[in-house]
Structure 1
Amino acid sequence: MNRVYVCSCFAVTEKQVKAHAEAGACTPRQIASACKAGTDCGSCVRRIQAILGRGTCPRRELVDQGMPALASEVTAMTETAEVTELREAA
């Protein structure tokens, strides 16, 4: 199996980053919340940005369609869910 590592610090693969993006992560910070990639040395953040830039993001699509208010609501709901997950994990 050929694995392409994006984050060497936490052994996060490109496939994992793409899976998190498909699940709704649209920013490097959201990827970091999901799998820690980009939170140690930071050398992978640009690569994560490049991967995210190639994919689709529901929030980006809403902004492109002229619905920034709805995009903000989706962002707020996602961030609230991430905070809840982090609290539950602690």
Structure 2
Amino acid sequence: MNRVYVCSCFGVTEKQVKEHADAGACTPRQIASACKAGTDCGSCVRRIQAILGRGNCPRRDLVEQGLPALTSSPEGLSEAA
């Protein structure tokens, strides 16, 4: 299997970032909270932004209300406490 790493500092793949986005992460900060990607050297933040795009976020209303965007995580992925 060919893995495309987005964050080499923490070994986070493009697939993992997409799974977190599908679970509701709308911003690089929310991705960082879910898997630490983008929290060390920061060189992957633009790549994460590109993966997230500027599309519609299904849980943006929750985020704006101060509620957590990640209410559940996909199998095998963990959320930061």
Q: Residues 5 and 54 of structure 1: is their aligned pair in 2 closer, same or farther, counting only changes over 3 Å?
A: farther
**Counterparts of 1:10 and 1:77, CA distance in 2:** 27
Task: Give 2:74's aligned residue.
Answer: none
Structure 2 residue aligned with 1:20: 20
Residue number in structure 2 paired with 1:47:
47
More contact order relative to length (CA 8 Å, sep ≥ 6): 2
TM-score of the two chains, using structure 1 as the length reference: 0.70
Matches within 5 A, 1:24-43: 24-43=24-43
1:25 alignment partner, SS class? coil
Moved over 3 A (4+): none
Q: CA deviation at 1:78?
A: 1.2
Structure 1 segment 1-90 matched on structure 2, within 5 A = 1-53=1-53, 56-59=56-59, 71=61, 74-75=62-63, 76-78=66-68, 86=81
Paired residues in the alignment total 70
Q: Secondary structure at the match of 2:6?
A: strand
Q: Which runs of 5+ in 2 are unaligned?
A: 72-79
CA distance in 2, matches of 1:55, 1:34: 20
1:57, distance to aligned residue in structure 2 (A): 1.5
Identify the structure with the greater helix proportion.
1
> Identity across aligned pairs (percent)?
80
What is the TM-score of this pair, normalised by structure 2? 0.78
Is the radius of gyration larger for structure 1 or structure 2?
1
5+ long unaligned stretches in structure 1: 61-70
